[in-house]
Structure 1
Amino acid sequence: MVGKARQQAQSRATVNKTVRRILLRYKVCLINLRFSTTSKTIFLKGYLIKNNGSDLNANLVRNMVAELSKVGFIRAELENWAISHDSVNFLGGDYSDLDFDEVA
C-alpha cells in the first residue's frame, strides 16, 4: 500500500514538474497563475500572462495548450483567457494591480 501511494506521489510530482517546465518555456508569470495537477488533470486559475506583464498571443497559447493537453486534461478558470477542448479566446484584462516575475 505504501508503495502505491509513493508511486502516485512521484507521478504527481512528475506531472507538476512537466507542467511547470512548459509554462516557464512560454515565459508565463507564475506569480499570477496558480496550477495544480492530479495524474490526469491540470487545473489553471488566475491570469495567463508573460512574466514581463505583456499578453500572450493566441497562437502561443494554442501551442502551449496543445503541449499541456499531452500531459493531462486542462481545467482552466482564467481571468483573461477562455480555454476549452476546442478553442482558445482572449478575454482581455486589467493587470495594473498584479505583480510580475521580472520587468523587461
Structure 2
Amino acid sequence: MIEASELLECFLWHDNLDAEDFANDKKLVDNVEEELADVVIYCLGMTSTLDVDLEEAVERKLAANEQRFDETPSFEQRLTRSPRHRWNRRMAGEAT
C-alpha cells in the first residue's frame, strides 16, 4: 500500500524533531493529515471488500495490546490511560 509509505516519508527526514517541533510545523502537519486520510480511505475500502468489522477489529487489537504492554500499577490508571478507554471516549465524541 503506497499510501502507508507516503505517510512514513513524512517522518523519514524529520527524525531529529521532537514531537512539539513537529506539531508546530504546519506544512508537516498538513502533509501528515493528507497522508493519514489516504491511509484511512484505503483501509475503509479494504474493510468493505473483506467484510471486516473495523470497530470490532480495533477493539480486539486494543485489548490484546493492553494485555501485552500494560504496566501501569493501579486499575484506575490502567482504565483511564488504556488505548481502549481513549478509543471508547473518541467513539463517544469525548475529548481525550
Structure with the largest fraction of strand: 1
Structure with the largest fraction of helix: 2
Whether TM exceeds 0.5 here: the answer is no
TM score, norm. by length of structure 2? 0.34
In our comparison, the structure showing a higher alpha carbon Rg is 2
